[in-house]
Amino acid sequence: MYVAVIGSGPRAAGWTTRFLASGLDVVADDPTVVDHVAHLWPTAERLGLFPGSSLDRLRISDDPAVLAGAFLAQVVGEASAPDGAPLVADDDTAYAHEPIHLLPIVELQRTDDFARLADFYASIGMAPRGPETHPLERWRLGSALVEITNGDPAAILAVMRALRASGTGAGAAIAEHEARRFAAGAAAPWRPGDEVAAPLRLYRTHVEPDWVDYNGHMTEAAYLTAAGWASDALFRYIGDDEAYRAAGHSFYTVETHIHYVLEVDVNEPIEFTTQVLGVDAKRLHFVHEMFHGDTGALLCTVEQMLVHVDMAAGRSVAILPHVAEALQAIAATHASMPVPPRVGSVMRLPPPKS
């Protein structure tokens, strides 16, 4: 499946960047978008790339048959859609605010293709909204972010991430983008009979700009943030996904031990291994080790104890059977692995010298 972007200028470049960052193949009919997309790509990386995202997935063609063969023809400005295109969106039927590659909202008109377009844009982490949406909500998801940041891409990203915990507006939109992105990149959930890697390697990313402190390297809290996403990858692998949590079940962290080994700078690659150290009816004990993605140097270890809870009841309960089975299989495979030396360490000063 590929999408076509038809037209020129900043809007064509914005849509092309958004689609490429979503892991799609893209055909554009204007060769000048190549340089524009290259300019926008660093901020798309900071928003977060879907699996398979690459500038190499862009090709240029003005062949009407190629453009019409796209799953979606995204038309900008005064350009015309190719004859025979199965799904077409333009600035009237699907309007996105600039910078398109960052802002979440796409405003849809109630055409015959409304549902298909809404599903598609939602699948790439955007926030499709119909004409019945309150103007204030549309403003918060689009032009408000530009107004309060003067259109600065770094500031737009910072504001959206700052709002994430609110669960509303752009905060909810960026949380949805993250969820879609991680779900797309998640390993296939474990099934009985699957071979388990020892250790698991489920999460890789780059150091985000807002993870870096005034010392110029990844701040101490960000190590735990990154480890939290590694835990999310583990949860998805064992079957603890959105449906599992929507049914009222989840794991809560009750204890964490972090060892900081080496510094790491902005945009550098990091990757995690995960080793399950133990599991019982309600508890899960594991350790993440974070490595530099290029050098392989150990950067930190994060050891955690989690308890399974019924969120509605607000108490611990037994892990549900299919998740428990996955964890038991992983624990059985990992039982033969050496335990990292930092696991179980106690923080204390050495006794005074006599």
Residues lower than pLDDT 50 in the chain = none
Q: What is the C-alpha separation between 86 and 113, in angstroms, rounded?
A: 10
CATH 3.40.50.720-classified regions of the chain: 2-159
The CATH number of 2-159 is: 3.40.50.720
The segment(s) of the chain belonging to CATH 3.10.129.10 are: 193-334
The token pair that represents 250 in the structure block: 């989840």
Give the pLDDT of residue 31.
97
pLDDT at residue 190 in the model? 96
**pLDDT the model gives residue 184:** 85
Helical spans, DSSP H, in 29-168: 33-47, 64-68, 114-123, 135-141, 143-149, 153-162
* DSSP reduced 3-state for 131: coil
State pLDDT tens for residues 120-165.
999 999 999 999 999 999 999 999 999 999 999 989 998 998 898 8
- pTM, to two decimals: 0.78
Query: What end-to-end distance do the CA atoms of the chain give, in Å?
Result: 73
Give me the numbers of helices (H) and strands (E) for the chain, helices first please. Answer: 11, 14
CATH superfamily, region 193-334: Hotdog Thioesterase (3.10.129.10)
Over residues 234-278, the pLDDT tens digits come to 999 999 988 999 999 999 999 999 999 999 998 899 999 999 999
Per residue, the 3-state secondary structure of 207-233, as one string, reads: CCHHHECCCCCECHHHHHHHHHHHHHH
What integer pLDDT is reported at residue 183 of this predicted model?
81
CA distance 94 to 74: 9
CA-to-CA dists, residue 113 to 97, 125, 170, angstroms: 20, 19, 25
Q: Find the DSSP H helices in the chain.
A: 9-21, 33-47, 64-68, 114-123, 135-141, 143-149, 153-162, 169-185, 220-238, 242-246, 321-334
User: Between the CA atoms of 315, 316, 322 and 327, what dihedral angle is there, to the nearest 10 degrees?
Assistant: 150
